[in-house]
Structure 1
Amino acid sequence: TDTAGLGAFFARFYGYMGLGTMLLQMVLTGPLLRKFGIRVALFVLPLALLMPTGWVLLDPRLLTASLMRGTHSLLRYSVDKSAAELLYLPIPLEVKSQVKSFIDTFIWRSSDGLAGTLLLILISTFKLDPGRVSVVSLFLLAAWLVVAFGVRREYLNVLRRAIERRTLDPERVTANFLDSTTTEVLARGLETAGEQQALYGLSLFEIGRQPAWHPALRRLLENSSPAVRQRALRLLSDAGERGLVSQAEKMLGDPSLEVRTEALHYLVAHTGRDPLALLTLQTEFPDYAIQGSVVVYLARTGEPGHLPAAQLMLESMLTRSDEAAPLARKEAAVALGLIPPPSELHSELLGLLHDPELEVVEQALLAAGRIRSRDFLPFAIEKLSDAALKTPARTALVLYGDRAVGTLKDYLNDPDVALALRKELPEILSQIPTPESASVLADSLIQSDPGLRYDVLKALNKLCRRDRKLLPEGLDISDMLDAELMGYYRSLQILAAIDPLAGAQAARQLTGSMEGVTLVARALGERMDLEFERIFRLLALLYPARDVHNAYVGLTSHRPQLQANALEVLEHLLKPDLFKRLASTLDPEIKLPEKLRFAERFCHTRVDSAPEALRVLLHSGDSWLRACALFAIGKLKIVELADELRGQPRDEGDLVAETWAWAASRLETTTAS
């Protein structure tokens, strides 16, 4: 055997194959995938191998074998490899990272080993010559084609679902490009998609480096969503599409300012028109609509020479005195929100925020949120107290994002701020999914008002469900959990002292179905329900939220079997010391006397009588419970609490004041008689 000759042959062969693979990848693979997509690329290698394999069957020589091996080497690491990589596109990233490494390191290597083993068996055991081995190869190629058909069908189904659910990772699209198959699936989805799905699909077109002249994009210019129309026109403009001049002129009269601005940009970019000259264009919409578009366009260019013209035009919109003046000011507010900060024009927002027209103030609030200027942040927070402006104020604060978090924290924890306004802030923070907002909520868990404490905890639960990684590292809520447990046991002590029947029901987790109990007992039962819920909301921050929620539903179901199952789940879920502390609270089989004994040890106090329990409620800080306690004192004519009643503040609202007056008169009548 000529070892040196064989070595030289293989060196030249694989050298040429490597060079050919590189050229093929550069010249053919990309255009092939763009034009025909993965639906064709998956079949290129097996179909290409059919012919040289047949030649080996008919003429088993070195030349035909080299052609077969060369075809495999050229296509496997170019077209076929690229097609295989595209198959991962709709797969979730966390699944892909596990599966791909397993396939690359084990499956591919194992398949090469199995192929070599099969070849060895065919030659050494069955004594097949190369021609007959090629027959086996033809059967394997047929099986390959069948599998490829199945893979293609399933890929299209998975891709379609990923686009519908918006789970296709844009970063991975950026790293690759969308082949024609994916593009067609995406385009078909755009035609029937809602606003959010259409915007998501357009973002894939945009970052996937696709030809933006796809017919589906043109049809989106008539979409009912302004955001979709604007994004589609921008993609077409960026792609250099010049055949939309007449449609862009029509879109100058679009109801949406963003669409009109995009149409103006298109006409200036692709026809060279002067934007100011477009003000004279006849449309069915009022002049201030075009003025707003021109103001936004001029301000966005960033050219110093355009700013005076934009200021002059904006001033003319703000100083109108005709019947269209409110609409012009509203349009000006919308325009200011579309101008990137910082801009001198944004100073005009201050006047619009104090405009007498409600719709103008709404748009000014939204504009303040879009430009995220701290100058307008206090005004947006204060408008949460205005029922007419609460919704746009919330939206504006969410648009502020992290820039508002610090100020929201100050307002949330300021006792001088009205409680009603403070209770609006946790929900807003829950809609800002950042570690900063989660940290603010975690730091604000300790609140004297139970309702506000519940709102903060609920908002933190929402962020935790969205992404547990948002929670601060090392979050310690053990003291908070003990405080809630103590509050629950304290309420149980008070309830049992006032109404033993209601206390027994509460011990069995039946506070939600109390019948024939007093008003104060029912109010205490409602508070215990909230305390019980807060305990589980705290647990959901430490343990899997779904398991904790299921346990909560089971314990409050009033069905013994579900309650027992829930306790078993918690026993396996919680740490032993924590479960031990909670067991007396959670287990409905533990009777009231035993729970009260545990409560006495845990709270280091006891409540022995109804008057003592009512005295505690009078100092509870909960206006509703205070009113119920006052009512009970008056109804039962508990004279021994008369001095306590006279010392009670009566400035917590009409309910407390009226109930106090009624109870005081009842006690005075009893004393006099």
Structure 2
Amino acid sequence: MKPLNQLISNLFDIKKKELSIALWMQLYLFLIIGALLVVKPTINALFLSTAGADSLSIAFILTAIIAVVISFSYHKLLERFNLRYIIRSTLWFFSIAFFAIGLLVMFDVTNLILVYTFYLFVGIYALLVTSQFWVLANVIFNIREAKRLFGFIGAGGIAGGIAGGYVTSILVPFLGNGALIIVASLMIASCPYIYHKIKSHSYKGKMKLEVKKREVVSKESSIKLIINSRHLTHLAGVIGIGVLVAKLVDYEFSYLASQQIQDPMELASFFGFWFSTFNIISLILQLLITKRLLENFNIETNLFFLPAAVIACALLLFVMPELWLVIILKGFDGSLKQSLHKSALELLAIPIPSDVKNKTKTFIDVVVDSIATGLAGLVIIFVVKGLNLPNYIITVSIAILSIIWIYLIFKVKDSYLSIFKQSIVKREKLRREKNNMGTLISNMKIIFENGGAEDVLAMLQKLPEISHKSLKEPILKLLNHNDKRVVTAVINNLDYVVVEPVAQVQDFIYTNDSELINAAMNYLLSHEHISYQFYENYLDDEDDKIATAALLSLAAVSQENPLLAEKYNLKLRIQIFSSEIGDSNMQIAELARLIETLGYASTTNYYSIIENYLKHDNKNLRIAAIKAVGHTRDTYFLMSLIEGLRDDVLNDSITDSIQKMGNKSLKTLEQVYLKQKTGNRYKISLLHLLYQIETRKSHRLLIHLAKQSDISVKKIAFELLFKSRKAGRKSILKKKELIKLIDKESAKYKELVRVYWSLKISQRSDKRTNGVISLLEKNLIEQLITSVDHCISNQLEIIFNLLSQRYNPEDVYVAYKGMISKETVSRLHSMEYLNGILSRDLKNMLFPLFELESHTLSNETFEFQERIELYDRSKMLEKLLLIQESKVHSASINLLNLQHEKLIDTILSHLPTSKSLKIKKTLLSSKNGKVKIA
């Protein structure tokens, strides 16, 4: 048995611990479908010979009515009894019922009413018992398991259909219809025992509590749950339209067959043969194609195949209404519906919360299916018979309904992905930004009136985007706020909500807050057209505090409006005030304003003054000089500014100034970045600088430099690009360029994971061929495991940030948070969400890596070794030395230094010459260096 089990596991990608439960589930489905395909052709033949094909439409409507009544009763039972009890009871009920039907048929106790009853029983059995099976499958398996196993398990149902159909076709002449129905009842009677085996195996494979949680049933009404869920509504629509089309196809198949085959026995044999043949085709599809299609194509593509095939056949049938064409049409419906389409439909139910799914899935499978069946009956009665229209109207209806079917498939795909996204957002407690303007304005008013200073400042930043007139009064009240930062921010944004000048602003030029004075002056200057004399009075004020503030505002505004410079003699005023620089009586704040004003002078005459103050001991004067450099937009001072980036106090001012230089600063920034002595912290500052320059060239340089940086630095670089995309800017990377970059980073990720698990193996090995491993080496390995694990996390984040350059940043962020979650469900939902949004080339590239993500792997090393090839000790050390991360590199050299000389020489010989020489130099400089330079 072991070789056979191994063969099945390898062939169908089934894990060893899953094989038993998968086989039991397959047998369960084999028996219930096999029983159906024994009973259905027998009862169909009996019905058609007794009631006639014209009565099918009435049977469809009666099935719908009975199914609705039974469904409501069934859902009341679900609220009172355990799901396990209900499933077992249902199986026993239908086993006894079919046994009784078999006896009645055997003794020829039949009439029109009984035939209708038999037909209805078969219809309800087909809906209810199969629906219960898939509810059970949804309880036991998660989404990733379902994708791998549903194809294999579903093959059991198809095989059951084949066996049942051929048994009917072959044995009905010998045993008769009644005996075959009794055989079917015995097949169903064995299912409760199999159900018990399935439950016991599911508890072994997973935590009992987890499985029991999935068996919980919601107390809410099924209809209410479906109406309130966009996904359930679309799912019900897809199933309903699919059933309606199938019933119309079934009618055409049955109608034409009964017209040409009059004998009931021969007709039963015909149905049995073709039902089984369709199932053989379906089995081949299920075993050889379904799993591959489910894994390689999006869910809407897999659902699309069936309606597309039906439309093609319907169009041909419209031209040539022949039995062989109807057989082909029924063949597509019978084979695809039970294989690929069925598996894809069941996957749509997986992400629905368990309590909702357990309540609504059977309702959809039974009631929606039955209502669709009833509608098919009404179409046949009123359209074909009532209006006495030709039969091709059914063919036209099939084609039109299939088009609607395709439309609903694309709608359900969107809601399907939305459920995964919502699940991750909810489980990971992610805040989702709401863009409702009314709510945002209302929140702003509340914060302006009652919020703290920091909250008010944050909301004031949104004023340029939301300049609503209703904010006028709350904004004006903030001019009396105790925090001067708030008042300054209000004045800077006042023109967005208040059109007319606000007189109160001029009062703030007499305060002691330099930033507030500057803001007030800028505001007053923007309204100087009201009175020329009004602003000139400030420029000529005897108080230097007011005069310098007015001069700085004038110089700044004149950059955009040169006429103002001429109007107020800006150059002359700067020249007069510059002669006063160095005056011991001048206050620091006034001197700072004058120095900053020199940057607007549009001449190099004052560069020496600015340069002197760039080295001044007073930080306020240095900041003023830095701002002046920014106003000049001249790279003359660039190196002096770059050197100052190491000072946290000056960093923001320097960044703002260099940003104003734009692309002119890029060459120098690149040279500084690539210097060997430039540390990672300094590099990060330079990357932030490149990001804030906000030109295409600066962002391209950011990517270029990131490629040559440590993983931790590279992560920061791509975080900045993610931030750029989130702000609404377009990606600067072309599709091919981006995919190539993702491919490279993915390869690095895979190498890191291999190194990580090779280190884990090394950690567990406590012996060497030459003795016991030292405590120092153990500590170094533990340190490296931690560092490499951190690199893996950073590398994963890099890949997701790169994905944001092609896809919606919010979607990518949600998927990333799900992928790194500690919750298995969130990780699985993240993968399915990505499966729905990524292109096929990226899925093929990234999904093997996501499967390797360290948090999703078992702690058992043998399970990991099945996924990826690990390195031996020599190769592991070689790969460690190649990892571009300073902490890993230094620890790797220390670990290398503990190895024997021959191994060190072997490892270094495999490295690039330049890297090898650097490592040799480092080893020789250490006290315990062992390497001898040849």
Q: TM-score range by the shorter chain?
A: 0.5 to 0.7
**1:230 is matched with which residue: 509, 514, 521?**
521
Contact 1:642/1:664 (<8 A) preserved: no
Contact 2:538/2:550 (<8 A) preserved: no
**1:535 is matched with which residue: 764, 786, 799?**
799
**2:490 is matched with which residue: 181, 193, 198?**
198
Say whether residues 1:258 and 2:523 are aligned partners.
no
Contact 1:491/1:528 (<8 A) preserved: yes
Alignment match, 2:876: 613
Contact 1:366/1:393 (<8 A) preserved: yes
- Give the CA deviation at 1:369: 1.1
- Report 1:323-334 matches (<5 A): 330=592, 332-334=594-596
Contact 1:484/1:535 (<8 A) preserved: yes
- The alpha-carbon distance between structure 1 residues 523 and 375, as it changes in their structure 2 partners (threshold 3 A), is same
User: What percent of counterpart residues are identical?
Assistant: 14
Name the CA distance, whole Å, in 2 between partners of 1:387 and 1:154: 38
**Cα deviation code 1:394-426 (max 9, x no counterpart):** 23223x153555346633764567344433211
Query: Residue type of the partner of 1:410?
Result: E
Say whether residues 1:632 and 2:895 are aligned partners.
yes
- Report 1:310-389 matches (<5 A): 310-311=574-575, 313-318=577-582, 330=592, 332-337=594-599, 339-342=600-603, 344-346=605-607, 348-355=609-616, 359-385=620-646, 389=650
- Give the CA deviation at 1:427: 0.9
Alignment match, 2:817: 553
- The alpha-carbon distance between structure 1 residues 493 and 638, as it changes in their structure 2 partners (threshold 3 A), is farther
- Give the CA deviation at 1:198: 1.0
Alignment match, 2:476: 187
- Give the CA deviation at 1:564: 1.4
Alignment match, 2:153: none
Query: Residue type of the partner of 1:489?
Result: K
- Give the CA deviation at 1:469: 2.5
- The alpha-carbon distance between structure 1 residues 542 and 155, as it changes in their structure 2 partners (threshold 3 A), is closer
- The alpha-carbon distance between structure 1 residues 306 and 444, as it changes in their structure 2 partners (threshold 3 A), is closer
- The alpha-carbon distance between structure 1 residues 441 and 251, as it changes in their structure 2 partners (threshold 3 A), is farther
- The alpha-carbon distance between structure 1 residues 460 and 306, as it changes in their structure 2 partners (threshold 3 A), is closer
Moved more, 298-307 or 639-648: 298-307
**Cα deviation code 1:214-234 (max 9, x no counterpart):** 444455556752333223433
Name the CA distance, whole Å, in 2 between partners of 1:161 and 1:430: 34
**Cα deviation code 1:445-464 (max 9, x no counterpart):** 42253343223212212212
- Which of 1 and 2 has higher RCO (CA within 8 Å, sep 6+)? 2
**1:469 is matched with which residue: 730, 742, 746?**
730
> Which consecutive unaligned segments of at least 5 residues does structure 2 have?
1-437, 449-458, 556-561, 766-777
- The alpha-carbon distance between structure 1 residues 460 and 333, as it changes in their structure 2 partners (threshold 3 A), is same
**Cα deviation code 1:250-276 (max 9, x no counterpart):** 8935389425756x99xxxxxxxxxxx
Query: Residue type of the partner of 1:664?
Result: G
Say whether residues 1:427 and 2:718 are aligned partners.
no
Name the CA distance, whole Å, in 2 between partners of 1:456 and 1:499: 30
Query: Residue type of the partner of 1:520?
Result: L
Contact 2:602/2:632 (<8 A) preserved: yes
Alignment match, 1:488: 749
Name the CA distance, whole Å, in 1 between partners of 2:702 and 2:507: 45
**Cα deviation code 1:331-350 (max 9, x no counterpart):** 5423313x353564345323
- Report 1:224-303 matches (<5 A): 225-235=516-526, 237-240=528-531, 252-254=543-545, 257-259=548-550, 301-302=565-566
- Give the CA deviation at 1:531: 1.4
Contact 2:760/2:785 (<8 A) preserved: yes
Query: Residue type of the partner of 1:529?
Result: S
Contact 1:366/1:396 (<8 A) preserved: yes
Contact 2:877/2:907 (<8 A) preserved: no
SS at match of 1:542: coil
- Report 1:495-534 matches (<5 A): 495-500=756-761, 518-534=782-798
Contact 1:494/1:613 (<8 A) preserved: yes
Contact 1:617/1:629 (<8 A) preserved: yes
- Give the CA deviation at 1:368: 0.4
SS at match of 2:545: coil
Moved more, 522-531 or 387-396: 387-396
Name the CA distance, whole Å, in 2 between partners of 1:470 and 1:157: 34
Query: Residue type of the partner of 1:567?
Result: M
- The alpha-carbon distance between structure 1 residues 159 and 664, as it changes in their structure 2 partners (threshold 3 A), is closer
Name the CA distance, whole Å, in 2 between partners of 1:543 and 1:242: 56
SS at match of 1:341: coil
Say whether residues 1:661 and 2:933 are aligned partners.
no
Contact 1:162/1:168 (<8 A) preserved: no
Name the CA distance, whole Å, in 2 between partners of 1:202 and 1:475: 46
Query: Residue type of the partner of 1:549?
Result: Y
Name the CA distance, whole Å, in 2 between partners of 1:499 and 1:453: 26
- The alpha-carbon distance between structure 1 residues 402 and 595, as it changes in their structure 2 partners (threshold 3 A), is farther
**2:836 is matched with which residue: 545, 551, 572?**
572
Alignment root-mean-square deviation, CA: 5.0
Name the CA distance, whole Å, in 1 between partners of 2:590 and 2:545: 15
Name the CA distance, whole Å, in 1 between partners of 2:669 and 2:496: 37
Name the CA distance, whole Å, in 1 between partners of 2:760 and 2:471: 68
- The alpha-carbon distance between structure 1 residues 302 and 440, as it changes in their structure 2 partners (threshold 3 A), is farther
**1:586 is matched with which residue: 850, 868, 873?**
850
Name the CA distance, whole Å, in 2 between partners of 1:585 and 1:231: 55
Query: Residue type of the partner of 1:618?
Result: L
> Which consecutive unaligned segments of at least 5 residues does structure 1 have?
1-152, 266-297, 505-513, 601-605, 669-673
- The alpha-carbon distance between structure 1 residues 496 and 255, as it changes in their structure 2 partners (threshold 3 A), is farther
- The alpha-carbon distance between structure 1 residues 340 and 460, as it changes in their structure 2 partners (threshold 3 A), is farther
Contact 1:435/1:470 (<8 A) preserved: no
- The alpha-carbon distance between structure 1 residues 550 and 414, as it changes in their structure 2 partners (threshold 3 A), is same
Calculate the TM-score normalised by the size of structure 2: 0.41
- The alpha-carbon distance between structure 1 residues 166 and 386, as it changes in their structure 2 partners (threshold 3 A), is closer
Contact 1:446/1:480 (<8 A) preserved: no
- Give the CA deviation at 1:625: 2.1
**Cα deviation code 1:602-633 (max 9, x no counterpart):** xxxx62x1233113323445442232223334
Say whether residues 1:478 and 2:739 are aligned partners.
yes
Alignment match, 2:671: 411
Moved more, 559-568 or 546-555: 546-555
- Give the CA deviation at 1:584: 2.3
Q: Which has the larger radius of gyration?
A: 2
Name the CA distance, whole Å, in 1 between partners of 2:569 and 2:707: 54
- The alpha-carbon distance between structure 1 residues 576 and 196, as it changes in their structure 2 partners (threshold 3 A), is farther
- The alpha-carbon distance between structure 1 residues 204 and 342, as it changes in their structure 2 partners (threshold 3 A), is farther
- Give the CA deviation at 1:246: 9.6
